[in-house]
Structure 1
């Protein structure tokens, strides 16, 4: 967010220090009983960005080409929602594959002798902008951290007009032990390009959100690619060990920081109890 020279009115505003630390709309000032013109225009611009993100067409062909340049195969599929208007009005159709796409996955699974450890699914969701911006750099960081695990993967599955649950059908048809859905999240007025990650162990049609783990706000101004990959990899390893995901699998990944170097006790999740202290 660009800094600006405070006006005399701002100098008297006790909220100014907080305003410099957050994109939230606080300490906007007023003109009479209304917002200042600059604040009103900024709000309208942010609202327009959010609307544009929802309606921006997904470019799976372009994304498939970029994946190929990085040595990754991909499959282009479509949900049961025929177009954007149907997708927005019928969430249930976005959760299932079109029959032609489902048949294509069955044929792929048969030709490749069945299951894989991991299927990565990418869908436009409510912000194709987020998918276009963040899919490739995130996958690059995930591959770096996942290299030692030796998991088998399917081609990246690109689903147009897809919602989170469509990954369950993809995973079931591919015989995947785990699925990771990369999807554009509902745009906010300060985040039109937020990418969400949804992880499911033993995916199958009919699961609800309690069976998934979510890592949200993956973008340059939010959760970094490296941190998101670190958290996802923790969930994947723990899911394989415990054979579950969702509400019973908590994100307890320890994150090394510069301040915590040399102090193991500072690396622990603050939500966990201290084993050295009596209960």
Structure 2
């Protein structure tokens, strides 16, 4: 029996000590922990153990390091240039305690980006940043499949090198985009893990990135994962925002996501190159 099946299974005649919640039938519609039943004044053992497992998985997601070498090998298979950078946070403990350092590049990383910078008419249209954030597993699993599907829909765009950033927060895309002279930066970052989603990816799009941009100047697509917002739908939304931002020359609160997904077939991505699960 899978964990999902076990967690959602109703109490049986052998579970005489468990009081079944009358809303139990609604559990099939959500991954949220509702209608768990009770044993006396406590939770039954199965949902309690499932909660502890999910809590451990969420903690592991925060502390698991990003395998940057594997990501860069996958990007190389796609003939996509890549460069690895670090934030100013020296280690994971400092990253968690000092969010401000996760928004800045360290000196060596900033210097590494200079040779990749476009200029004048050769400005880069778009730079993807794959960042570990608070769930490296999310970045490892979902970033490249999303990039595959997004690039497949972009025609005539100058795509810069994919930047792989560790100990990174969302705003690290601002100095990266500025140094690369990019018109837009899309930061694909592991979101804060939840008890039912330890590997969820967020996408943050910023027009004319520069240090000091506020979150109000970004657009966000969240919960990208097979169990949430699928790669195809996320790519569809991202391309819509990219095209609209290019036309309106802005992102953030002034740019609304008015895309309507109708289940149309998107340009095929090479699934054989997707990151291994």
Q: Which TM bucket (shorter chain)?
A: 0.7 to 0.9
Other structure's SS at 2:50 match: helix
1:21 equivalent in alignment to 2:29:
yes
The corresponding residue for 1:72 is 80
- The alignment status of 1:229 with 2:241, answered yes or no, reads no
| Corresponding residue for residue 95 of structure 2 | 87
1:158 and 2:199 matched: no
Q: Partner residue of 2:205?
A: 199
1:105–1:170 CA contact under 8 A, matched in 2: yes
TM-superposed CA distance for 1:2, in Å, is 2.9
The number of residue pairs the alignment matches comes to 256
Report the CA distance between 1:107 and its aligned residue. 2.8
Aligned to 2:175: 169
Q: Distance in 2 between matches of 1:124 and 1:247?
A: 25
1:112-151 equivalences in 2 (<5 Å) = 115-146=123-154, 149-151=155-157
> SS where residue 170 of structure 2 aligns?
coil
Residue number in structure 2 paired with 1:238: 244
* RMSD over aligned Cα atoms: 1.9
Q: 1:111 to 1:42 in 2, by over 3 A?
A: same
- Measure, in 2, the Cα distance between the counterparts of 1:96 and 1:125: 13
**Residues 114 and 174, structure 1, Cα contact 8 Å, conserved in 2:** no
Q: CA deviation at 1:113?
A: 8.5
TM-score (norm 2): 0.88
8 Å CA contact 2:215–2:252 kept in 1: the answer is yes
TM-score normalized with structure 1 length? 0.87
Tell me, yes or no, if the aligned pair for 1:127 and 1:184 is still in contact at 8 Å.
yes
Q: Does structure 1 residue 62 correspond to structure 2 residue 70?
A: yes
| In 1, Cα distance between equivalents of 2:31 and 2:180 | 42
**Displacement over 3 Å in runs of 4+:** 8-13, 110-114
The change in CA–CA distance for 1:113 and 1:248 in structure 2 (over 3 A counts) is: closer
Structure 2 segments unaligned to the other structure (5+ residues): 265-277
Instruction: Give the whole-Å Cα distance in 1 for the aligned partners of 2:75 and 2:251.
Output: 28
Q: Is there any run of 5+ residues in structure 1 with no aligned partner, and where?
A: 259-279
